[in-house]
Structure 1
Amino acid sequence: MDDTTKTALVTGANKGIGYAIAQGLAERGMTVLIGARDPGLGEKAAASLRDVGHDARAVTLDVTDPASVTAAAQQVTEQTGRLDVLVNNAGISGGPVNPPDEADLDVVRRVFDTNLFGVIRVTNAMLPLLRQAPAGRIVNISSGTSSMAAMTDPGHYFWNTAASAAYPASKAALNMLTIQYAKQLRDTPILVNAAAPGACATDFTAEFTRVTGRTTDRTAEQGAAIAIRLATLDESGPTGGFFDDDGPVPW
């Protein structure tokens, strides 16, 4: 890796949308770091990208474990000495049904620990490297289900989805966290945005499909496109926004 090659870390990148994001960034010439809880799965994913000529490396990273996050930051520093892009993709659903009046608070805590607190842990650990980058980019993978405008619109299909105290709430909190990081970093070259990849045919949505019967033929690569776009914004790009394929998503 020469001094001009950008480095990107994608959490939860051994499969699904995370892998597609890593692949897309690698295709754009970046060194990609595959963040994964399971070292074997992370290495397998990285090897598949190396097999087609990309510079990909596995980083063991459990976003819910502070020691793992600290070790991952040290590994990134030692392996590449730089970080230009951080994509906070790792996330869990907590299951398709979590009605507020029956919410299992242990499940809700686990969802928030990964989807919100995990983003804070990883971002703060990687910020020293991102601050050194000429044009750091942070992309938080959110969800269209976090849009309060959509959820409260009788004309939107989210109006008829089951109420949940876990996943949509955690992603709405992530949107606000995105704004707060962008606010704090607005006097730096770092741009911070949230992406809504849309429902894709991945393992993540399989349980939702089983329970709701709602299917999708949207691919992980299609879902990854908006994250890749936000990760490669030029200096005039937005910060503190929430975007999908069509542009800004109503909060």
Structure 2
Amino acid sequence: MKTALITGANRSIGFEAARQLLQQGYYVYLGARDLARGQQAVAQLHAEGLTQVEPLQIDVADPASVAAARTALGQQTEVLDVLINNAGILGGMVQPATSTPVSAIKEVFETNVFGVIEVTQAFLDLLRRSPAPRIVNVTSGLGSLTLHTDPSWKYYAVKGAAYAPSKAALNAYTIMLAYELRDTPFKVNAVDPGYTATDFNHHSGPGTVADAAARVVKAAVLGPDGPTSQFFSDDNAPDTGISPW
């Protein structure tokens, strides 16, 4: 049975991605910063008859928590097939480049960038033991530098000094990681789930959690001929599904 770890999976897109992977026969380690909330999420999935899941306490912004999670997971499995770096924070709705405190920007980067790197490096040894490892970094269309310079882009006016740059940095890390692992069975991709109605944005997005999670899961279950080092975004590129960086 293939195994998957999803960070920030006790609600919204991460939770739905866990559900969809469970429905495809994966054993899921549901990562949650708050263990009690992770246990509640697992209990809900169990109630739906999806029992191959257990919670894993992990705060991606806390290196000690990541290390403890790696130890705990290593006691449960010797192989990890899928890592979905889903945990992320917005950092507030207004982030002017001229006045957003550096401390606020650092806080967003701690989770959205450095947390992803910390988790990826911590669990890479388990992933290397999989015959077909997959890493999915959940990004945002707002991480596209190309589109941010295009006045015709529908989200052109949605600027911010913390969140969008953090996702651009995450995209860059995805490219570097994919390049380093290019001659291995790894598939490493960034996925924009789209502007989705979640707690993250006060349910302002038009997309559904089910559709958003399906985009993430699609990259998590890529076959051996699937692409790597791509920026998938049905929202920004409905024709091709590949967003410009």
* Aligned equivalent of 2:30, options 15, 34, 40: 34
* Aligned equivalent of 1:232, options 221, 225, 231: 221
Q: Deviations over 1:65-114 (max 9, x none)?
A: 11110111111111122210000000001011111100111110010000
Q: Deviations over 1:157-186 (max 9, x none)?
A: 22222x311000000000010001101111
Aligned residues: 239
Indicate the residue corresponding to 1:64 in structure 2: 61
2: CA distance between counterparts of 1:62 and 1:216?
26
- How far residue 51 of structure 1 moved from its aligned partner, in angstroms, is 2.1
1:170 aligns with 2:166: yes
Is the 1:137–1:190 Cα contact (8 Å) retained in structure 2?
yes
Structure 1 segment 111-130 matched on structure 2, within 5 A? 111-130=108-127
Moved over 6 A (4+): none
Q: Show structure 2 runs of 5+ residues with no match.
A: none
2: CA distance between counterparts of 1:159 and 1:37?
33
* Aligned equivalent of 1:133, options 130, 140, 148: 130
Structure 1 segment 205-216 matched on structure 2, within 5 A? 205-206=201-202, 215-216=204-205
2: CA distance between counterparts of 1:61 and 1:24?
21
2: CA distance between counterparts of 1:244 and 1:98?
24
Indicate the residue corresponding to 1:201 in structure 2: 197
TM-score by length of 2: 0.95
Give the SS at the match of 2:216: helix
Give the SS at the match of 1:189: coil
- How far residue 49 of structure 1 moved from its aligned partner, in angstroms, is 1.4
- How far residue 50 of structure 1 moved from its aligned partner, in angstroms, is 1.9
1: CA distance between counterparts of 2:151 and 2:5?
39
Indicate the residue corresponding to 2:184 in structure 1: 188
Is the 1:10–1:88 Cα contact (8 Å) retained in structure 2?
yes
2: CA distance between counterparts of 1:53 and 1:221?
18
Is the 2:189–2:231 Cα contact (8 Å) retained in structure 1?
yes
Is the 2:139–2:190 Cα contact (8 Å) retained in structure 1?
yes
Is the 1:47–1:56 Cα contact (8 Å) retained in structure 2?
no
Is the 2:78–2:129 Cα contact (8 Å) retained in structure 1?
no
Q: Over aligned residue pairs, what C-alpha RMSD do you find?
A: 1.1
Give the SS at the match of 1:221: helix
Indicate the residue corresponding to 1:248 in structure 2: 242
Is the 1:76–1:82 Cα contact (8 Å) retained in structure 2?
no
Indicate the residue corresponding to 1:160 in structure 2: 157
- How far residue 53 of structure 1 moved from its aligned partner, in angstroms, is 2.5
Give the SS at the match of 1:32: strand
Q: Show structure 1 runs of 5+ residues with no match.
A: 210-214
TM-score by length of 1: 0.93
- How far residue 217 of structure 1 moved from its aligned partner, in angstroms, is 3.2
Give the SS at the match of 1:79: coil
Structure with greater helix share of residues: 1
